[in-house]
Every structure is written in C-alpha cells, then in structure tokens.
Amino acid sequence: MSEKLLELLLKKGKVRRQSAGFSQIEALLGEAILDLEEAKKIKDIAERATYLLAYMAMLKTGRAFLLLYGYVPDDGGQHKTVVEASGSLLGEKYKEIILQFETMRRKRNELTYEAGTLLSGSEARRAFEDAIDFTKMVLKEVKRKNPQLALDFER
C-alpha cells in the first residue's frame, strides 16, 4: 500500500479522511454485487448496458475499499480519484486491474458524453469479468478486517 500517494491526494484535496462503519461499506458492496447480477442477466444481449453496469460495480467497490481505509473522494473528479486511490491502496500486485479500471473509466466517459462511441463485445465481456474479480478481491479484504461480513458473491 502506498501511503505516499494517499497523502498527496489528501494534500491536494482529492480525498479526505472519513471514518465509516462496516454497514456503509457493506451497503456499497451490496449495490456493486446487484449491478453485477443485473449485468450477468443482460451480458449476451446488451453490451453497452453490461459495460456500464460493470463500471458502476467497480466504482462502488472502489468507494467501499477507500472507506475501509478511512478515505472518501472529495473533489470534482471523484471517479478518477477512486481509481487512483484504489491503485495506491492495492499496490503493484494489482496494477493490471487498476489499469483496466482506468480504461473503463475513460470509456464510460466517452459512452456518456460523446455520440457514436464504439464498444466491442470483447470490451464488455472483459469489463464484466474484471469487475467480478475486483469485487471479489475487495470482499476478501473487507472480510479479513470484518469476518462477520454477511455478503457473499458467487458468479
């Protein structure tokens, strides 16, 4: 975990410290799991919707992960901040999934704000799979800190 980047984000006003109970963290993770369950139902018929739900699941999971360590995004670029801070907390071992999270963030912006953005079926499938992996990884970390966590996520 890179406390150095988190301290820099704190100084720049991109994150702030906030204590949170496990119920808040569990609620965000529950919403992320719901997004993934809905994405699973439509993944073969609605690629754009699958992609957007997968991204939202990653964003909610990232926010829950930040809360677990006592941080929340606090700037106008909260999505980017969640990606950066999540990467800082996870470290080099999870660099690949954070790079994918950033790619998804950018693509979600294009899909939201620009007309005619193309999205391939393979992009939607990868986003869905990565969102599942990220959510499972964060759930494991949360359960390590709070073994009483009631959430489970099975594909």
Q: DSSP readout, 132-149? A: HHHHHHHHHHHHHH-TT-
Give 2's pLDDT tier (boundaries 50, 70, 90).
low
pTM above 0.75, yes or no: yes
Token digits for 108?
């979600």
pLDDT band at 133 (very low <50, low <70, confident <90, very high): very high
What residue spans define the domains of the chain? Answer: 3-145
pLDDT value at position 154? 67
The answer, yes or no, to whether residue 155 has pLDDT greater than 70, is no
Express each pLDDT in 53-110 by its tens digit. 999 999 999 999 999 999 999 988 899 999 999 998 888 888 999 999 999 999 999 9
Which of 17-21, 28-32, 110-114 bottoms out in mean pLDDT, i.e. has the lowest? 17-21
Mean pLDDT value across residues 12-17 = 92
Half-sphere CA count of 144, side-chain side, radius 13 A: 9
User: For residue 75, what pLDDT is reported?
Assistant: 84
Spatial separation of the C-alpha atoms in residues 62 and 99, rounded to whole Å:
13
Asked whether residue 1 carries a pLDDT value surpassing 60, the answer given is no
- Residue 34 pLDDT more than 80? yes
In percent, the amount of the chain with pLDDT more than 70 equals: 95
- Rounded average pLDDT over 144-150: 84
| CATH 1.20.120.330 is held by the domain 3-145 | yes
